[in-house]
Amino acid sequence: MMDDFGLYPREEQFDPFSVMLFKALQIVAFFFFIAVLAISPDAKDGKVDSKAEFLITMDWPDNHPDDLDLFVQDPVGNIAWYRHREAGFLTLDRDDRGGANDFILVNGLKIPSPIREEIVTVRGIVAGEYTVNISHFQNVSGAPVEAKVKVQKLNPTAQVIFDDKVVLDHSGDEKTALRFRLDAEGKVVEVQRRPKSLLETFRNVRANGADLDPKTGVRMIRR
């Protein structure tokens, strides 16, 4: 036989106690696995589904020194922007300051990031009109800059509902990229580009003299 020539390792002496111990450990591990499955995050009360319904992006040329800002307002007046990054179902996921302090960390070192992009996600459906504006916060280059704005509906399948360019030419310049309307099921029923100033909304909030507006995050000094 082959085993006579040493081609297979010889078996160790049978030890019943070791076998029983190993089987017991297997059983304990199995019940631990079942217990972990039973404590599922989906079973927790008040769990919020964080999936995005819409993705709104605004980008401008790589390595550009200018600082552009994305503003998105929902139908009830909430505005997501760099000073109020979470407003209702709106979340500003990325605030890009252009050439000012735009770095990424690699192995503990700060490396300048060439990407110029801001992103807002819409994580729930509210029927009505949404406004997407961009503002030229700081014109370092001294020249007009072209920004690209894209809005994608993500569910049930990805669909681009807007993809176009907007030109800003001076500090403080504000342009409406688009305004789109949703029905109660989240279907896009209208897309148009009629101008609407969100910066003017901030000025109106300040005039009211409140301490902090919960929809815009604008902090004011009482008169």
Q: Tell me, what's the pLDDT at 13? A: 53
Point out the least confidently predicted range of 94-98, 129-133, 206-210.
Answer: 206-210
Helices and strands in the chain, H and E counts: 2, 13
Q: At 25, is the secondary structure helix, strand, or coil? A: helix
pLDDT for residue 96 is more than 60: yes
Q: Are 221 and 210 in contact (CB under 8 A)?
A: no
Least confident piece of the model among 8-22, 70-84, 86-100, 207-221: 8-22
Q: For residue 67, list its beta bridge partners.
A: 138
Which pLDDT does position 68 carry in this prediction? 95
Percent pLDDT > 90 in the chain is 55
pLDDT in tens, 148-204: 999 999 999 999 999 999 999 999 999 999 999 999 999 999 999 999 999 998 887
| Cis before 65? omega within 30 | no
Predicted model pTM:
0.71
Q: How far is CA 208 from CA 67, 219, 221, in A?
A: 29, 11, 10
Query: Is 54-208 a CATH 3.40.190.10 domain?
Result: no
For the chain, give the mean pLDDT: 80
Q: Report the pLDDT value the prediction gives residue 97, as an integer from 0 to 100.
A: 78
Look at residue 206 in the predicted model and tell me its pLDDT. Answer: 64
Give the start-to-end residue ranges of the domains of the chain. Answer: 54-208
